[in-house]
Structure formats: structure tokens, C-alpha cells
Amino acid sequence: MVNVDVVSLGRLDYQQALSIQEGQAAKLLAGETEDQVVYTVEHPPTITVGKNGTRDHIVAPEATLDELGFAVYDVDRGGDVTYHGPGQLVLYPVLHLGPWNNDVSRYVRMLEQVVINALKHVDVESRRLDGYPGVWVGNAKVCAIGARVKKRKNGEFVTSHGLALNVTTDLSHFQTIVPCGIVDKGVTSVRELLTTEEVSLFEWEHRLLDSFADVFQVSLNEKR
């Protein structure tokens, strides 16, 4: 069984978290380590624009973003415009994909399955939606997925970025953007879906990691 280290970064600025995961990915790409690592993090209000995105999908005026304390970054993951913020649980798996047949499409499906299985444990039926990466409940996205892969000299892919699950997220913050450039669908959160239950980001961090271990068939070693 593959061993994966889990590093909880707590609440951390997006650029700082990006630097940490990129540093680990660089070591994997250079062959300086074989460690498999998953970072968990919660960001302050942040908008990221992926390689396939456009800042035209940021619809709030700059003055409004400043007032709300938003940071905006262009990033090298796939996808369009995404929001990160308090109450959203982000997983950044920095993995080399040899143990999973070096299959990037399979990797993305596995990330989606991690969330689908975790939600199923609380009787929420979620799904994939053809042509729209992520995890959906009805026509509302509860989890965004944006992976980035680079290739080692031996042809093995190394991953970065990952998934962002809305747990107790302030959904009004999504009104500042056209999420992922999709105009005809909504967003939701675990708290909105579980209206009769108390929802905790800490609890969902462990729930999601348990699901990750099951789907990826790995042993997790938490490093706090």
C-alpha cells in the first residue's frame, strides 16, 4: 500500500500555500524525493484564474473586491475562474502517478469520487456532470476540481492543485465571479445541503481524508 503524508496548513494565504505545493512538486520532478503528500488548507477570500480562463468572468468591480478583502491571482491549473475562501476545504495532492497507472483522467475521476463518497456517507447524492469537471448536486456545484500535471524525465506525471469543497462557505462570495465560466448553473455547500445538522470544517477535513484513503487505496500519515 502506498504511504501518503498529510500536511494541514490551516488557514493560509493562497500564494504561500501555492509556494509550498510547488516546492514539493519541484522535488518530485527533479527526482529529489519520492514522497507522496496531500496538503489541506483553508484560504482567505481569493479568486484564481486558470489557464483557460479570463478575468472577464470576474464580475465584481475592483473596488468591491478590495472592500471585501479579496486577492486575485492568475494560476497554472486547468479551468477558468474559481473562488476560494473561509469555510471551503481545499486539498492539494502532490503525487507522482505511477501507483495509479500514470493515468491523469483516472486521477481526476478519483478526486471526484473522493467527494462523491464522502457526501454519500451523509446521504447526499452527488454526481459528475458531463463536460463540467467537479462534483454536483442537481445543477449546483459543491466541489470544484482543477488539476495541474507535469512530467518527470521517466514519463511519470506529477500532480498539483486539486479540489475545493464548499463546506460552510459564504456562497454570496461566488456572486463576484462567473464560477468556472458557467452561466446557467449554481453553487452550493455542505451546510446548505445538510440544513438540519451542524457542519464543521474540521470534521469534513477528516471525512474527506478518510474517503481519499479509501478511493486511492493509500495509508495516510498525518503530519501536523
Residues with catalytic roles: 180
The answer on whether 17 is annotated among ligand-binding residues is no
The answer on whether 145 is annotated among ligand-binding residues is yes
The answer on whether 163 is annotated among ligand-binding residues is yes
The answer on whether 43 is annotated among ligand-binding residues is no
Neighbours of 90 (CB within 10 A): 22
| Pairing relationship of beta strands 127-129 and 132-137 according to DSSP bridges | antiparallel
Rounded (10°) CA dihedral 110, 133, 81, 172: -90
- Grid coordinates given for 7: 500536511
The answer on whether 162 is annotated among ligand-binding residues is yes
Q: Are 192 and 171 within 8 A, CB to CB?
A: yes
The answer on whether 77 is annotated among ligand-binding residues is yes
The answer on whether 82 is annotated among ligand-binding residues is yes
* H-helix or E-strand spanning residue 13: none
Which parts are annotated binding residues for substrate? 77-84, 144-146, 162-164
Binding-site residue positions: 77-84, 144-146, 162-164
